[in-house]
Every structure is written in structure tokens, then in C-alpha cells.
A and B are shown apart, each in its own frame.
Chain A
Amino acid sequence: MPARAALFVLALTLAAAGPAHANSILSIGGLGEPQLEEPARLRALGGAGVAEHGPREISLVNPASLSEVERILLEVTVLPAFRRVNAASVPVETVRETTFPSARAAIALPGGLVLGASYVAGTDAEFSVAREDTAGARSTVTVDGSGGINFLRVSLARRIVPALRLGVDWEVIAGSYRESWVRTFSNSGLATARDSLDVRYPKKGRWRFGAQLVKKDWAVGAAFETSQHLPLDVTRATIGASERFSGGQLEIPPGLVLGASAPLRPRLRAVAQYRRAGWSRSSLQSDLVDFRAQERFSVGLERKRATEEERSLWARLPLRVGGYLLRWPDLLPRAGAQDVNGGTAAIDERALTLGAGLVTKDNGGGLDVSLELGSRGDRSELGVSERFVRLGISFLVSDETWKGSFHK
């Protein structure tokens, strides 16, 4: 009954709550904020998940990590965050937000196969900004941006031999970029302009191949993802007029992930991962954004939870600590420049990560949390920097967990 009451409260809260949005000042240009799709358990390890394996230790980076799933799993991750935006010209601003990096379902099939389906956020272009503009007639421009690149993914994995697991993803590159521009003039004789800007692309698929080698507590993993070309279609519209034209071609580049998990002590292990996506100038011809390779360096330490017999809560609680360095692919115009011809500035993101979790008694489900403390941007180069705190919460349910809580 407590669970049903809580479920009722959840439903009511979700129904009453307004939409949550990202609001990074760095999502205003380029492709948007790169998202880490991993659940909280792996976020707490700096995002190093390519070598993860186990009945519930699944990673969204490597499809091979699904190969040991024994039942039905459902995993959802939400990410409330708090930012402090430090810009050169205005006082410090604070922003709260909630994003949904991923949701995944997996089911074990006969023949040792595991089938998965997931939603993954690639980039997040949500922002809301109001700015004074004096070009022609004094006005306040309010721009609400939304969208970004998303992926809808189907996965298939299998353990080939005891030490080798293989997996493959086929994912549809979805999403779009939309901006709503509202311009309010100081002169009351001028009517408010309400315009929109849409950038769309056809939904195309691409492949990701993953492999893991597991020997006792040692594991190494790798994944490779293919590229895809997406013709961009731009529509600008206002009341009574619209303009549609080609926006060039966006190349989603090939990517590579390499990583390992190594035991340090009986309950302690270390993980490390290098992830790269080959963004470059040729990925998108634009005067407003240039690109470099996206790179993420992740490391983490995990103290695994003790056995069921251990009565101490502290001992039964898994503890994780990690960190990462993310080099955004977007090279944005430098502060004061009108476009990339005036110079570009890179965005490097660094974070310290912490985490813990609870596991259900059937070992099928659990609740993991992560805390990310980091910063990115550069006031001297970009004119703005951000500090952020993210709370990652992942909810993992298996068929056994479901039955245990609601049907017994």
C-alpha cells in the first residue's frame, strides 16, 4: 500500500508539474550542450561505462554491455541541475533545470540474445534568453530555443564465448532545432514581432558496434559508431510570411570508445575510458560554429557494496567517485566576434563526480544517484563561464522487482 500511495503521489505531481527545460548559456549557439547518456551509476564514475557488464550493469555507450541481462530491465535517468552563469557584462545569473538524458528497456531472449530499446539525448539546445537590441529600433528580443539531436536506438547483444560479448545498435538520428523569437519594441507604435526558426533534418539511421573482453574481474570494452550525413532544412516564419531554404549538410561523425575496468581490491575497482567523435570543420559549413573532435576522458573508482549478510548500511552502500574532462566539439565565436572569422573559443568541461546507490533484494532493480560538480566555459575567451551541480537519479526496475513490490 505505501508503494501504491507513492505511485499515486508521483502521478499527481507529474500531472501538475510544468515542463522542465535545460537552460545553458552555451546551448545558444552550435549544436547545443553535449549530453552524457549514461545512468547515474556510471555518471558517478565519470561516465566510464564501455567495459560495464553484468545482469544489471548496463551502459548506453556499448551495446555489448547488455549481453548478460537475464530478465526484463527498465531504466530511466533524470538529471536536475543548478548552474551559475558568470558573464562579463551582467551580474551572475542562476539557472535550474531538469533534463532526461536517457531511458532504456532491455529483455533477455532465447538463444542468449538480449534486445534493447532506448531513447538517448545527444545534444541539448534548450535555452531562453532576453536581450536588448538597438539595431534600427530599440527592442527586447526574447528567444526560446528548444530541441537538439536525439537518438532512438534498438540494440542486440550476445555473449559469444565466456570472455567475449558483442553487441550492435541501430539508431535513428532524430530531433530538430527550433527557436521562437519575440521582439517587443520600446515604441508602442510597433507591434510585437513573433517569428520562428526551425532547422530540421531527415531521420536517418546509423550503426554502433561494441565488444567486451571479460576475464575474471578484468574487462575491456570498445565501441565504434558509424557516421551519417543529414541535409538540413531551414524554415524561418512569421505571421504572413515564411522562407525555407537548404541549410547545408550536417555530418554526424564516426565515433570510438575505449575503456577498461580493473580490480584493485576485492571490493574496489577502477575504470577508465576514452571517447571520441570525429567532429571537424567539414561536419557543418557555418560561419557561426566550427568544430573539433569531441573527446571525453573519464576515470572512476568504485567501492562495491558488501554482501547481503553485511548488516551495516555503510558497508552495503556502493560508493563511487570519478571525474571527467569533456572537450566540446563546438568552437564558438570568441567574445566580441560576430562569427568564427573573428576567432573561435573552445569549451572544456571538467567535473568531479560522486555517487551511491541502492539495490533491491532481488538484485534486479535499484536506485542510483550521482553528483557532478563542474565548470565549463571561459570568461576571457567566450565571455562567459558556468559552474554547475548536477544530481543524476537513475531508476532501474526488473520484472522481479516489479513483482516483488506490487504483486506480492
Chain B
Amino acid sequence: MRHGPFFAVLLAVLSAIPVVGCSRKAERLVGSARLIRGPGGLGATVRFLRNPDRDTYVEPGTADFGDVLIVGRDTTFEARTFLAVASWKLPDTTLAGFSPGMVSLELKRDTTLLDAGVVSLFLAASPWDTATVAWPGPAHPTLLGFAQDDRPAAGSFSLALTPGSFDLVKQWAQDPASAPGFALERTGDGLLAYVPGAAVFRVRYTHLVSGNAVLDSVDTRVTQDFYLHAPISPPPTGADTSLVLGGLFKTALALHVPLDSIPAAVSIDEATLILNIVGIEVPDSGDVTDIVQVRRIRNVWSEGITEKGTLTIDDATSSSQSLTSAYAGAGRRIILRIPGALLREWAATSSSNEGLYVSLTHPVNRTKKFQVGSRESSRPPELHVSYTHLPPVRF
């Protein structure tokens, strides 16, 4: 007995059934007053803000192994660059008609600091330990050469060593300890910047090929470079009305905001650190590469600190945002999102709250610094917190 038509009709009907089922998004009921969950309503959202009970700003230290080499002086900021060579390369002196020429230090310009001036190269008197080296650095009494850096554009700056330096280079090659390092300084006011990792010592020479003099050169790579700068001046006191973020000293903020009033079972909707700009400088389109990073501080600290080294800071960032996107021009505020989980932990265990370290990285304008209102000012930093209680029970 066949029932083909019966099944065909039946299955066609069944096929249509899922189609007539509801589409939830299209048919969500709105305005339902029947969503009744007791006197607490649907779960109130609580908002509050806290100001710091400790705040200051600190510098990362006087040695900078970062993305630039600086020489020169700008009011209280003074910097010199140090270079070291692990091993030297010499030209083949047995070549026919070998004759040494000029020895120079070749530096690649960083265009972020453009004050033209005279740059001098010195031989350091002693080696240094990179872990402890600090301003003013090792003595460097021996002048090896100087040159005017006119800063016409990006490119290389060639600083010629005094004539006869080839003999010195041969000596350094035979006994590397005789050249423990080099120092670069700029005379007078103004700052110059160079690209780290790109400097070489170049030995030029001529030799005969088929009876003709040919000019050639050998480069020795600089294997270590960094700059030292004078300590921040004036130093932060812990009672300043403004906190300095960024600038030549690359200062960063240390803030501690007490937090103990977030219930455990809530949904955190907002955890925002707001820094109010009180100075003249504000972030603009020129600061497009600037990144504001927030890290957690792990140790106890006081407002009297001046250096980052006294803080134990997480390597991982809690928050990392573009400065320009974090800045709200209307209120002259830098708005930084903080992970809700961090606040939840602080609220649960107040002893784990040692505050936040706020720093600025990758600035285009290295001299630009932002003054942020401190807790002693009328526009102190604010930690905004909003939370909503978990859904009320159904029964």
C-alpha cells in the first residue's frame, strides 16, 4: 500500500512549520510592564567617583635605553649619549698603496629634536655597568672630534675624528679595553636626537688598483648606545598641584585611589580613570602616535618618591590607549578605561590596591608634557565606577 501523496502533503506542512516560528529579534516585546522583579526593580545601577589619597609623578631614571639618543640641553634637562664598540674592524693595511684617510662617527638623525649645533665626541675614561649607570656617567676627558650638525633633513650626520685617528683605531682594535666607550655632547642650549642602533665608526682609506688610487671604507658597528640625562628638576614633592605626564623627563604618574565599596555580586559597567589637564599643553593631532599605558603598582609607596625604580610595576599593561582617542577636549580630560576585574579585586582585598602607574609612550613631540591636576588641585584625578546589581531572581 503506497501513501506517497499523503507523505508529500504531510512533509510539506512540516517543512513550513519552522518558517512560521518566531524570529526573536523581530518580535521582542517592548515596554513590558510584566517584567516584575520585586521592590528592587530590575537592578539599580550605582555610580560613584573617588579621588586619590596619594599621587605624584616620577621619572623612569636618568639612563634611557629607549628609542632615541639625545644630546644637548633644554633649561633643566641636559643629556649626553654614550656609545660602546665590542670589536673593531680595520682595513687590510697590506693592500697595495694603502693609505688611511678620515675616521668618522656616522649617526642617523632622528628628526624629533632639531636644534642645530656643535656635537663633540669624547673617549670615556672607564667602562660602565648598564644596570647601574646613571647621570652624569663615566668621565670622558679626551676629545676625539667635533662637528656642526646643521640638521638639514633626516639622514646621516658625519662627525669626523681628529686627523691621525686611524692609529687610535688600530690601538682600540688591538686592545678593546683601551676604548671603554664614547660620549657625545652638544654645546650650548638646544637638543639633537639620533636613531639608536644605527651608529658606525667609518675608516676611509685609499689603495691602488691597476695603478689607480681607489677610495674605500670599513665600518665598525656601535654595539651599545643610550643616553643619560640629569635628574628631574625641580623634583616632584608629592604635594604639587599638577602632575607632569611625558616631556623630556618622560615622567609618569603614580596614583592610589582607595576603593572598598563595590559589592562582590555586581556587574561593573564603568571603571574609568579621568585625568584633568590643568596646563597649557593638551593632546592634539600632532600626538597621534602617543600611547597612554596604565600598569598596576604592586608595592607600597609614598608621595615622596621621585623615581620609577622605587615602584614595583607589572610588566603587563592594565590598559593601553591612544592619547588622542582618550582625550576629551570638552572637559580637557584624559579618560582611561580600567579593567573591571582589577577594581573587583581591589574592592574584595583592599590590601592588593597599591594604585596605578600611568605613562606615555611613543611621543612624536618629545618636549611636550601634559600637566594633570593633582589631588591638591581643584581638578584632581577621578576614578569613576558604575555597577549594576545582578539580575533579580525570577521566583
A81-118 interface (Cβ within 8 A of B): 85, 87-90, 93-98
User: Using Cβ atoms and an 8 Å threshold, which residues of chain A touch B20?
Assistant: 80, 96, 98
User: Using Cβ atoms and an 8 Å threshold, which residues of chain B touch A95?
Assistant: 22, 27, 29
Are B34 and A361 closer than 8 Å at their CB atoms?
no
Are B35 and A143 closer than 8 Å at their CB atoms?
yes
Q: Which of A85, A141, A287, A367 contacts B42 (CB 8 A)?
A: A141
B21-68 interface (Cβ within 8 A of A): 21-24, 27-39, 41-47
How many pairs, one residue from A and one from B, have CB atoms within 8 Å of each other in the complex? 265
Q: How far is the CA of A192 from the CA of B11 in the complex (A)?
A: 44
Chain B's nearest CB lies how many Å from the CB of A346?
14
User: Using Cβ atoms and an 8 Å threshold, which residues of chain B touch A136?
Assistant: 44-47, 386, 388
Chain B's nearest CB lies how many Å from the CB of A103?
13
Are B21 and A20 closer than 8 Å at their CB atoms?
yes
Interface flag for A236 (CB, 8 Å): yes
Are A29 and B36 closer than 8 Å at their CB atoms?
yes
Q: How far is the CA of A344 from the CA of B191 in the complex (A)?
A: 80
Q: Which of B8, B27, B30, B390 contacts A90 (CB 8 A)?
A: B30
Interface flag for B15 (CB, 8 Å): yes
Interface flag for A137 (CB, 8 Å): yes
Interface flag for A280 (CB, 8 Å): no
User: Using Cβ atoms and an 8 Å threshold, which residues of chain A touch B39?
Assistant: 338-339
User: Using Cβ atoms and an 8 Å threshold, which residues of chain B touch A161?
Assistant: none
Q: Is the interface of B mostly helix, strand, loop or mixed?
A: mixed
Residue of A nearest to B26 (CB): A96
Q: How far is the CA of A153 from the CA of B39 in the complex (A)?
A: 39
* Number of interface residues, chain B, beta carbon within 8 A: 64
Are A240 and B268 closer than 8 Å at their CB atoms?
yes
User: Using Cβ atoms and an 8 Å threshold, which residues of chain B touch A358?
Assistant: 6
Q: Which of B1, B27, B269 contacts A193 (CB 8 A)?
A: B269
Chain B's nearest CB lies how many Å from the CB of A234?
6
Residue of B nearest to A139 (CB): B45
Are A195 and B2 closer than 8 Å at their CB atoms?
no
Are A98 and B2 closer than 8 Å at their CB atoms?
no
Are B32 and A87 closer than 8 Å at their CB atoms?
yes
Residue of A nearest to B17 (CB): A78
Interface flag for B224 (CB, 8 Å): no
Are A29 and B394 closer than 8 Å at their CB atoms?
yes
Are B30 and A129 closer than 8 Å at their CB atoms?
yes
Are B267 and A197 closer than 8 Å at their CB atoms?
no
Are B264 and A243 closer than 8 Å at their CB atoms?
yes
Interface flag for B209 (CB, 8 Å): no
Q: How far is the CA of A139 from the CA of B43 in the complex (A)?
A: 11
Q: Mark B357-389, 1 if CB is under 8 A from A, else 0.
A: 000000000000000000000000000101010
| Interface-lining segment among A56-64, A179-187, A261-269 | A179-187
Interface flag for A248 (CB, 8 Å): yes
User: Using Cβ atoms and an 8 Å threshold, which residues of chain A touch B47?
Assistant: 136-137
Are B11 and A93 closer than 8 Å at their CB atoms?
no
| Interface-lining segment among A2-10, A206-214, A252-260 | A2-10
Are A6 and B22 closer than 8 Å at their CB atoms?
no
Q: How far is the CA of A177 from the CA of B102 in the complex (A)?
A: 85
Q: How far is the CA of A339 from the CA of B388 in the complex (A)?
A: 21
Q: With A197-B391, A360-B6, A361-B3 in contact, do A21 and B32 touch (Cβ < 8 Å)?
A: no
Q: With A1-B4, A136-B388 in contact, do A384 and B33 touch (Cβ < 8 Å)?
A: yes
Q: Mark A106-148, 1 if CB is under 8 A from B, else 0.
A: 0000000000000000000001111111011101011110000
Q: Which of A17, A234, A239, A332 contacts B36 (CB 8 A)?
A: A332
Residue of A nearest to B36 (CB): A333
Chain B's nearest CB lies how many Å from the CB of A340?
10
Are A383 and B11 closer than 8 Å at their CB atoms?
no
Are B24 and A144 closer than 8 Å at their CB atoms?
yes
Are B41 and A135 closer than 8 Å at their CB atoms?
yes
User: Using Cβ atoms and an 8 Å threshold, which residues of chain B touch A96?
Assistant: 20-23, 27
Q: How far is the CA of A132 from the CA of B45 in the complex (A)?
A: 13
Q: How far is the CA of A115 from the CA of B347 in the complex (A)?
A: 59
A343-360 interface (Cβ within 8 A of B): 358, 360
Interface flag for B286 (CB, 8 Å): no
Interface flag for A54 (CB, 8 Å): no
Using C-beta atoms within 8 Å of the partner chain, give the interface range for chain A. Answer: 35 or more
Q: Which of A129, A185, A284, A365 contacts B32 (CB 8 A)?
A: A129
Q: How far is the CA of A259 from the CA of B85 in the complex (A)?
A: 103
Residue of A nearest to B348 (CB): A241
Q: With A23-B29, A80-B21 in contact, do A238 and B267 touch (Cβ < 8 Å)?
A: yes
Residue of A nearest to B263 (CB): A241
Are B17 and A197 closer than 8 Å at their CB atoms?
no
Q: How far is the CA of A287 from the CA of B393 in the complex (A)?
A: 10
Interface flag for A271 (CB, 8 Å): no
A10-30 interface (Cβ within 8 A of B): 10, 13-14, 17-21, 23, 25-26, 28-30
User: Using Cβ atoms and an 8 Å threshold, which residues of chain A touch B28?
Assistant: 128-130, 142
Are A130 and B11 closer than 8 Å at their CB atoms?
no
Are A10 and B14 closer than 8 Å at their CB atoms?
yes
Interface flag for A297 (CB, 8 Å): no
Q: Which of B5, B7, B19, B33 contacts A89 (CB 8 A)?
A: B33
Are A393 and B390 closer than 8 Å at their CB atoms?
no
User: Using Cβ atoms and an 8 Å threshold, which residues of chain B touch A405?
Assistant: 2-4, 6-7
User: Using Cβ atoms and an 8 Å threshold, which residues of chain B touch A142?
Assistant: 28
Are B4 and A28 closer than 8 Å at their CB atoms?
no
User: Using Cβ atoms and an 8 Å threshold, which residues of chain B touch A191?
Assistant: 268-270, 340
Subset of 25 A-B contacts with CB under 8 Å: A5-B8, A6-B12, A20-B17, A25-B34, A28-B36, A80-B20, A87-B34, A96-B23, A129-B32, A136-B45, A137-B45, A183-B388, A190-B45, A190-B269, A191-B340, A241-B265, A286-B395, A360-B6, A362-B1, A367-B6, A383-B33, A384-B33, A395-B10, A401-B3, A408-B2
- Nearest 9 A-B pairs (CB), nearest first? A20-B21, A136-B45, A17-B18, A98-B21, A6-B11, A90-B31, A236-B390, A238-B267, A243-B265
A-B contact sample (12 more), CB < 8 A, given A197-B394, A199-B395: A3-B8, A9-B12, A19-B21, A23-B29, A96-B20, A129-B35, A135-B41, A143-B391, A238-B390, A338-B36, A405-B2, A408-B1
Chain B residues with a Cβ under 8 A of chain A: 1-24, 27-39, 41-47, 264-270, 272, 335, 340-341, 344, 384, 386, 388, 390-391, 393-395
Chain A residues with a Cβ under 8 A of chain B: 1-3, 5-7, 9-10, 13-14, 17-21, 23, 25-26, 28-30, 78, 80, 85, 87-90, 93-98, 127-133, 135-137, 139, 141-144, 177, 179, 181, 183, 185, 189-197, 199, 232, 234, 236-243, 247-248, 250, 284, 286-289, 332-333, 335, 337-339, 358, 360-362, 365, 367, 382-384, 393, 395, 401, 404-405, 408
